[in-house]
Structure 1
Amino acid sequence: MFRSRRSGLVRRLWRSRAGGDGGVSCCGLSEPPAVSPELRSAASAVLKRLKEQALCALLEAVESRGAAPGGCVPVTRLGAPPHLLLCRLFRWPDLQHPGQLKALSGCQGAGGSDSNSVCCNPYHYSRVCGPESPPPPYSRLSPKIEQKPLVDLSDPYTEMDVSGPLCIPAGDVSDTSLSPNTSKQGRWCSVAYWEHRTRVGRLYAVSQPSVSIFYDLPQGNGFCLGQLSLENRSEAAARTRGKIGLGIVLSREADGVWAYNRSEHPVFVNSPTLDAPACRPLVVRKVMPGYSLKVFDFKKSCILRHLPAPPEHADGPYDPHSIRISFAKGWGPCYSRQMITSCPCWLEVLLGR
């Protein structure tokens, strides 16, 4: 009985291996591409070392395509890195080196290189965005782009604690200047959701090390954008909201703030630390599904703090502690959308000092 159930779990895992597009095929209607003999042999050895409970957790993560990432799946290191093998098998067949992977903030079993075991749950990892040199054409913002922060954090009635309900009433939609004070009560950032130039709902204050921001996800807690109502929502915003899906995860780590794209569409990110301090205008980076990017660097922020605001920001307030993230739609001189306020659905992440 035990051997039969275990064999069934392993067969389901093999049917759910990554397809040619980096996705997962688990319906059985089309067989994913063949796996090389070397990868098949090494991955089979890893699966054989997993207990039945670990196989169940791994299967839940793989068949849900990360919607239910599940717990850690620790396994002893023998031979090739186990997490690299299973990430290649279930998510990214072109993955070459463990240095291309980043353990997500919620993973407790990633361990260091000197650890005897490592978590091999492929949905506890993301790929790291490489540097863009030179940045692609969409990356450069027009010098005339409005850099004025749009949310007033000095108003205590505009914030919502993360422990509150997910159903959030629509809040003030007027544009105001920024007076940051997100450090109170341990909050390291507040998140505002925008549709074009209209802010929808209240600020979402974050005190936990990481926060999920998604459209509709039954499991877990976080900022559910799907439950934010707005009268006279534009067709463009309605279409883009349908692409948010699992959304993103923002995490505050030792070196900065990271964004992990869990959705099936790219997100576009802009912050003062994404480019060299002396280089302006700022850069917009494209983060593909399954990738992570350090969207705010603490060391660079310290340098920026002592520099004068660049000339193109002289016509309005310049906030060196904010991050802007647009779902599915980019902006800049190579787009019809020149400014972030032209994007249908976007976030402004306001960091504490």
Structure 2
Amino acid sequence: MSNLLHYHGPAVKKLLGWRINDDEEKWAEKAIESLVKKLKKKDNACGTVEDLEYALANPGAHSKCVTITKSQDGRLQIRFRKNQPHVIYCKVWRWPDLQSHTELKAIPECAFPFEANNRTQQICINPYHYQRIEHPNAFNNYPSSSPEPIPSPLSSTTSVSPPSGMMSCASSPEYMDAASSPSAFHEDAENHMRRQVYSQSPSFPTPDFWATITYYELNTRVGEAFKASFKIIELFIYNESLVVDI
């Protein structure tokens, strides 16, 4: 860390002091250095290095948007890893385990938030203009309440009249004894409850993806995790391809 402070200018040194994760020091260093260069030479954009420093030093206070110009594909590359700019700087200064923009949402006060359909050329990277979404996937959309209680077969009495041809059989003592015996009643109750359970079983939603693919070089992951939503995925590994399907 001391070598970094001697090498970088005062703005980079100060911003490095607010980073959260020490495990990715080189990556955070490059990300902050790139950001300071963009903020110092940008034109017609919003926010300065000083505005960013204020936001980091005063997390609970109102702060300005700090923007940079979007790239052609909307992502920023730092040491062979690409991601949306606001994800990178939220990862540096707030959530080291952050992976995707689907885990974030902008606060209402942000004038330049990241949105898939946002056509502005600027994007706010102020980490305190975003909130973490803890469960962005479909796995948390299970029914919030328990199923309705299964009604007891004793809760209501239903009168069923047999067909006219069976009236004499139904009214005979042998039939009445068999129908009202404890074993017959117990069997009917079990069948009734089984039908109720099957008809009221909750249907759980299917996930948005069926596999997660990550790429590593020398035990270091490169890029963000790819969530496979298509039925067939083709992977190119050196000069060979591998097809994976459900």
Taking structure 1 as the reference length, the TM-score comes to: 0.31
Compare the two structures and name the one with the higher helix fraction: 2
Taking structure 2 as the reference length, the TM-score comes to: 0.42
